[in-house]
Chain A
Amino acid sequence: MNVKRETTAKPAVMDTLEISEHQATVGHCFSDNAKMTMRNVNVFYGEKQAIFDVNVDIAKNEVIAMIGPSGCGKSTFLRSLNRMNDTVEGCRVEGDVRMDGEDLYAPKLDVVELRARVGMVFQKPNPFPKTIYDNVAYGPKIHGLADTRVDLDEIVENSLRKASLWEEVKERLHQSGTGLSGGQQQRLCIARAIAVSPEVILMDEPCSALDPIATAKIEELIEELSENFTIAIVTHSMQQAARVSHRTAYFHLGRLIEVNPTEQVFTMPEHDLTEAYITGRFG
């Protein structure tokens, strides 16, 4: 019978504050089909270290969810994937971050182009104070993705369709994007991110300002988008992580504690800290 007694190798929940410096992440961190790879990544805000030695792959077309208590470093981790941290003063990223083998922190890398390839959706919907059409068309225009007006119309329509917003806004494309409901605004932001044909979409708590119905629409959308894009999502809702992601990564005090298939994380997490967090216990 393949039943093992509980080993003592796992740190007890009470030892939370004494995570060793070199403790490795448990679970399945790496992929044979990696879109992005991070090796020995450390992130600092001035003197303060926010991320400690993270090693993980994000596979092509997977949805990976980052969970953890506030201040655990999950958003910092997300932002280091498209160098959004560059905009934060005093922020320093060490280690190796690659997409399809290309070093994202290479000095000659075009950061603007990178952010088109690795799009981002934020917590609060932030449409430009422009028309719905212009919100979506702006990116393709500045990146020169459309030669003619017809091309641009097509990109706008396709992006809005992929974001499941087209049917709701096709009659009022030239009204302001800020006049939409919160959920629609968030889907507009997703359409805007999709319009520049990104390879990876980063989502930083995309539903935390939305009601349950708008949230359900975004979650359904995430599922559909994963057919064409690789998605990394930070969420405070564990049920959301359980519903939308293929793998779940648990961060704690700047360390990546566990990465495992989502169904495992929510039924039988490998690490006691993960267990404590997802069951709502002191950890």
Chain B
Amino acid sequence: MDKKKFENHYMKQFDEELEEIRTRLMEMGGKVEQQLQNAIRAVSEADSKLAEDVIREEQIVDDMELDIDEACILIIARRQPAASDLRLVMMVTKAVNDLERIGDEAKKIANHAIILAGETGTSEGYTEVRHLGQSVLKMLGHALDAFARFDVAAAMMTLEEDKQIDLDYKTALRELVTYMMEDPRSISRVINILWVVRSLERIGDHAKNLCEQIVFVVHGKDIRHR
């Protein structure tokens, strides 16, 4: 299914409204992706200024969520969408929620980045953050690409990436615990890193939700909790 599927309504305005929420969701996805990227960079480069930008711009993501949700409610009220149109609108309301949560997690990461930048100490844990951060960023990018093309095969492949992220998360946890045992003075710092890693893992889950929603839009099959 490509975006053509959402065109050709007798009411041209309806085409435009569906296209509008789709485009705005993609914009929001792009913004969230950028927030995540900056948050990860803020941690690994100890850049508190960048972290502050991320925290400030979280508001933009929140506003986008409200706008898109409102547009979806208007479509339901005005058009009473059915079948694939209905699935698209429902999907978009859920997807903006996931994206907003990803934005929240990015903000949390940025908060920890500021704390970490103020602390002195070794660089233990940063490798884990960078590694997991790259995997999560890639997965989010793949999920958004799959959504842009309504590509179920790509969504299914992206879903699988979450398994690796969960594994990497567990490995990272083990390593971080080891650092804390080796040097109890590092506990407060490593706990901050642990929260960052935890946020990254949560973002993987939200990206997974996005992929499941793509399958729902295209095939009408709900593959959650399977």
Spell out A's residues near B (CB within 8 Å): 1-6, 13, 238-239, 242, 266-269, 274-276, 278-282
Leading 5 A-B pairs by shortest Cβ distance: A268-B220, A281-B8, A278-B82, A282-B8, A266-B82
B1 contacts A by Cβ under 8 Å: yes
The bracket for how many chain B residues form the interface is: 20 to 34
| Nearest CB on A from B208, distance (A) | 13
| Nearest CB on A from B45, distance (A) | 39
List the A side residues contacting B85 at CB < 8 Å: 279
| Nearest CB on B from A103, distance (A) | 38
Closest to B226 in A: A1
B8 x A275 contact (CB < 8 A):
no
| Nearest CB on B from A142, distance (A) | 44
Q: Please report the C-alpha to C-alpha distance between residue A224 and residue B7 in the assembled complex, in whole angstroms.
A: 39
B219 x A267 contact (CB < 8 A):
no
**Given known A-B contacts A279-B81, A280-B9, A281-B9, A5 and B152 have beta carbons under 8 A apart:** yes
A267 x B83 contact (CB < 8 A):
yes
**Given known A-B contacts A3-B223, A6-B218, A279 and B156 have beta carbons under 8 A apart:** no
Closest to B215 in A: A3
| Nearest CB on A from B28, distance (A) | 25
B11 contacts A by Cβ under 8 Å: yes
Which of A3, A4, A6, A269 sits near B83, CB closer than 8 Å?
A269
A3 x B86 contact (CB < 8 A):
no
A1 x B223 contact (CB < 8 A):
yes
Closest to A282 in B: B8
Closest to B80 in A: A239
B81 x A1 contact (CB < 8 A):
no
Q: Please report the C-alpha to C-alpha distance between residue A268 and residue B86 in the assembled complex, in whole angstroms.
A: 9
Residue pairs across A and B with Cβ atoms less than 8 A apart, 5 shown, are: A1-B226, A268-B83, A275-B83, A275-B84, A280-B11
List the A side residues contacting B14 at CB < 8 Å: 280
Q: Please report the C-alpha to C-alpha distance between residue A281 and residue B15 in the assembled complex, in whole angstroms.
A: 10
A6 x B87 contact (CB < 8 A):
no
List the B side residues contacting A279 at CB < 8 Å: 9, 81-85
Closest to B220 in A: A268
A6 x B156 contact (CB < 8 A):
no
| Nearest CB on B from A8, distance (A) | 13
| Nearest CB on B from A39, distance (A) | 29
A3 x B9 contact (CB < 8 A):
no
Chain B CB count within 10 A is highest, among A1, A2, A242, for: A1
Q: Please report the C-alpha to C-alpha distance between residue A242 and residue B152 in the assembled complex, in whole angstroms.
A: 28
| Nearest CB on B from A264, distance (A) | 9
Chain A CB count within 10 A is highest, among B8, B83, B223, B226, for: B83
Which of B1, B86, B218, B221 sits near A2, CB closer than 8 Å?
B221
Which of A2, A4, A282 sits near B10, CB closer than 8 Å?
A282
Interface residues of B in 167-226 (CB under 8 A from A): 215, 218-221, 223, 226
